[in-house]
């Protein structure tokens, strides 16, 4: 059976020190359990044309070192495209920058986090709305995830359900409608990715009162966060009409 591929919208590249592991779309594809032929990548940051979403099972939006608040032309075009995709009913999953871009596209507020930089393996706390969410239901109320960011979603879009938060971030995940999710953390990160980011951001971490060496030592696996990508793929594959298929 021929199945529609997933579209991965690339909004940035990993740190130079981590590019030996490939680019973000590769990390996401592997974590999501997708084969190469099941994905199509468009590099929005470098001007690729964003296609008609009707040819895809769902959309995944990568992270980036860019800032949504810079309102770069490519970013604003991507936000407008995302807004149309979501309102058209396409399943969407935004990661870090993609999470913020999705929130911005739907009318939320994105800016620098007043709590400062968040880096390393953090603990997510699920909100009550997560119990009824197709991706988050059945997960423990607290579990680890990898994060590295300065900006955040200060206000989720109107009508969105906040699903998870951390000590430093009040909106680590949200769902808008039945098929659009944003997560501030990085479910595609393995421990070597996270450690690499902590080492590279050591000076910034110190400036925000943290100890990069301690944060690096505390990096641990985050399999439940990673599982969300596979849950999204299953959800998008099985969604039909306006209904959703809940995870068992």
Q: How far apart are CA 175 and CA 153, in angstroms?
A: 13
3-state secondary structure of 10: strand
Task: For residue 20, give every residue at least 6 positions away whose Cβ sits within 8 Å of its Cβ, in sequence order, or none.
Answer: none
For the question of residue 211 being annotated catalytic, the response is: no
96 in catalytic set? yes
45, 118, 188, 216: the catalytic one is 188
Distance CA 169, CA 124 (A): 9
Residue with tokens 């149309």: 84
188 is catalytic: yes
Select which of 99, 104, 172, 186 is catalytic. Answer: 186
Residue of 96, 99, 146, 216 marked catalytic? 96
Alpha helices (H) along the chain: 24-32, 73-87, 97-105, 191-200, 202-207, 212-217, 223-238
In angstroms, rounded to a whole number, what is the distance separating the alpha carbons of residues 215 and 119? 8
Listing DSSP states for 191-207 in one string gives HHHHHHHHHHTHHHHHH
116 CB burial (10 A radius; 0-12, 13-18, 19+)? middle
d(CA 45, CA 66): 9
Active site residues: 96, 186, 188
């Amino acid at each position: 059976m021929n199945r529609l591929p997933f579209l991965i919208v690339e909004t940035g590249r990993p740190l130079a020190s981590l590019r030996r592991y490939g680019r973000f779309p590769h990390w996401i594809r592997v974590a999501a359990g997708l084969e190469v032929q099941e994905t199509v990548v468009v590099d929005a940051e470098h001007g690729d044309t964003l296609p008609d979403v009707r040819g895809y099972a769902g959309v995944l939006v990568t992270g980036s070192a860019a800032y949504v608040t810079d309102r770069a032309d490519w970013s604003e075009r991507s936000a407008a495209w995302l807004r149309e995709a979501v309102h058209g009913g396409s399943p969407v999953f935004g990661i870090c920058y993609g999470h913020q871009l999705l929130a911005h596209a739907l009318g939320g507020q994105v800016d620098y986090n007043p709590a400062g930089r968040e880096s390393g393996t953090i603990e997510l706390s699920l909100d009550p709305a997560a119990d009824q969410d197709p991706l988050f239901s059945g997960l423990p109320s607290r579990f680890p995830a990898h994060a590295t960011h300065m900006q955040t979603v200060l206000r989720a879009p109107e009508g969105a359900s906040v699903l998870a938060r951390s000590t430093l971030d009040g909106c680590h995940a949200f769902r808008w409608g039945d098929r659009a999710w944003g997560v501030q953390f990085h479910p595609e990160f393995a421990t070597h990715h996270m450690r690499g980011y902590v080492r590279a951001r050591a000076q910034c971490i110190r400036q925000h009162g943290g100890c990069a060496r301690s944060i690096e030592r505390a990096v641990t696996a985050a399999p439940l966060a990673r599982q969300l990508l596979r849950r999204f793929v299953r959800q998008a594959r099985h969604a039909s009409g306006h209904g959703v298929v809940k995870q068992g």
